[in-house]
A and B are shown apart, each in its own frame.
Chain A
Amino acid sequence: MTPLAVQALLQVANAQHELSTGHAIIASIIKLLIIFTVWMVTVALLTLAERRIAGWIQDRQGPNRVGPQGILQPAADGLKNLMKEETEPANAYMPIFRLAPAISFIPALIAWAVIPFAAPWPSPWGLVPMVLTDLPIGYLYILAVSSLGAYGLILAGWSSANKYALLGGLRASAQLISYEVALGMSVIPVLLLTGNVTLSSFVETQAAGGFNWNILNLTMGFFIFIVAAFAETNRLPFDMPEAESELIAGYHTEYSSMKFSMFMISEFAAMLTISSLMVTLFFGGWDIPFTSWDNVAPWSTAKTLATLAVFVLKTGFFIFTFMWVRWTLPRFRYDQLMALGWRVMIPLAMAYMVIIAVAVLVLDRVGLSAGPGQAMALFGLNLVLLVGMFFIFDRGRLISPAAARVSPSELARLRSVALRPPTTAEARD
Chain B
Amino acid sequence: MVTKSDESAELRELIARVSRQVARRTAQPRADLAAIVAAEVTAALGATAAGQARAPAAPSSDLPVAVRAELCASCLEQERRKVGRRAVVTTTGKNRKGIVANIARAIADAGGDILDISQTLVADYFTMIMIIDLTGLEVPFTELKARLTEMVRALGAECLVMHEDVVTALQRV
* A and B interact physically: no
Residues of B within 8 A of A (CB): none
Residues of A within 8 A of B (CB): none
